[in-house]
A = this chain, B = another copy of it.
Amino acid sequence: MPDTHLQIRLASRPKGWVEESNFRVVEAPIPAVRDGEVLLRNHWLSLDPYMRGRMNDTKSYAAKVEIDDVMVGGTVSEVVESKNPKFAAGDFVVAMGGWQEYATSDGAGLQKVDARLPLSSYLGAVGMPGVTAHIGLFDIGAPKAGETVVVSAAAGAVGSIVGQLAKIRGARAVGIAGGKAKCDYVVSELGFDACVDYKSPDFMDALVAATPSGIDVYFENVGGAVLDAVLTRLNPFARIPLCGLVSQYNATEPYRVKGLGSLLINRVKLQGFIVVDETSKWPAALRDLAGWVAEGKIRCRETIAEGIRSAPRAFIGMLKGENVGKQLVKLV
């Protein structure tokens, strides 16, 4: 066991796009374990869009990261020392271990994982992104067989699962993603019925062609001009689970949406949600997801960066849509 480890701390708050200079790498002592605590070695770090909000000095749904604090993040971690009777060295847990190589925990919120699935899946399809897709699509979107479900950021960690869940429910799944490679992946590997490239000049025509019966559920991850395009295709009584607005997180001036009249004319329900509010729904959702992953009904590529020092660049890349599927940092 080393005496020190590496951490990524918030050095400054971004103005607009995040830059690597907003972070700094710190070599810090590995903390001593007190009674009731465990020492965790982080094996996998999850990078997620919500982290961008934590970097701002503004009100959000969760506490901001203070300057010089370690960046927050979900991890799959190994218990390497335990003074907590609920955990033993060698256990693997899902934790909020942060952007660092080691962390201590009093055990609160740690979830032991079942080693039958790949460890990294607990940060993806069988973790927060999967539960986000499950709750947003099934509880808010509530698609019926034969309806059309559209999801933006369809090649991302959440979006890729949304479409596969829609197919499991018998709905038509249409993705929106950036570029031909992602769209091909979404259709060929994930089994969506269609995927439309929002960067293409004929995006609107392609969206119309891919949704010949209109749109019944729009799972929103991005906002901006893509939202305005979708608003023109909504059917009466459509539902919009509002999960993210990643196109806006680095915008210094927000995109201004013009098509809200569609929400009135079509009597649409739009519902913002945050998966951490819905703790009571996690166990059942995770059981569903673990089963479908084990059966091969849900799959998701991973984009893997190596080593904690790579986290800032990988995070910026994810915000720009450079990843396919779940963005992870492999620490061990």
Contact with B along A257-269 (1 / 0, CB 8 A): 1111101111111
Considering only CB atoms, which chain B residue lies closest to A223 in the complex? B260
Q: Is the CB of B265 within 8 A of A61?
A: yes
Chain B residue contacts of A268, Cβ below 8 A: 271-272
Report how many copies the assembly holds: 2
Is A59 located at the chain interface by the 8 A CB criterion?
yes
Is A86 located at the chain interface by the 8 A CB criterion?
no
Considering only CB atoms, which chain B residue lies closest to A248 in the complex? B261
Bound complex: CA A255 to CA B92 (Å): 52
Is A270 located at the chain interface by the 8 A CB criterion?
yes
Given contacts A61-B236, A236-B61, contact A263 B254 (CB under 8 A): no
Is A96 located at the chain interface by the 8 A CB criterion?
no
Q: Is the CB of A245 within 8 A of B264?
A: yes
- List residues 251-290 of chain A with CB under 8 A from any CB of chain B: 254-261, 263-274, 277
Q: Is the CB of A265 within 8 A of B59?
A: yes
Is A217 located at the chain interface by the 8 A CB criterion?
no
Chain B residue contacts of A267, Cβ below 8 A: 61, 271-274, 277
Is A242 located at the chain interface by the 8 A CB criterion?
yes
- Known contacts A53-B265, A59-B265, A254-B260; 7 additional CB pairs below 8 A are A60-B265, A61-B236, A244-B264, A248-B261, A254-B259, A263-B272, A266-B272
Bound complex: CA A298 to CA B268 (Å): 30
Residue of B245, B257, B266 touching A257 (CB-CB under 8 A): B257
In the complex, 21 of the A-B residue pairs with CB atoms within 8 angstroms, ordered by the A residue number, are A53-B265, A59-B265, A223-B260, A227-B260, A242-B263, A242-B264, A245-B264, A248-B261, A254-B258, A254-B259, A255-B258, A256-B256, A256-B258, A263-B270, A264-B274, A267-B272, A267-B274, A267-B277, A268-B271, A269-B271, A269-B272
Bound complex: CA A248 to CA B61 (Å): 31
Contact with B along A72-87 (1 / 0, CB 8 A): 0000000000000000
Bound complex: CA A223 to CA B53 (Å): 27
For the complex formed, measure the closest distance between the CB of A258 and the CB atoms of chain B, giving whole angstroms. Answer: 5
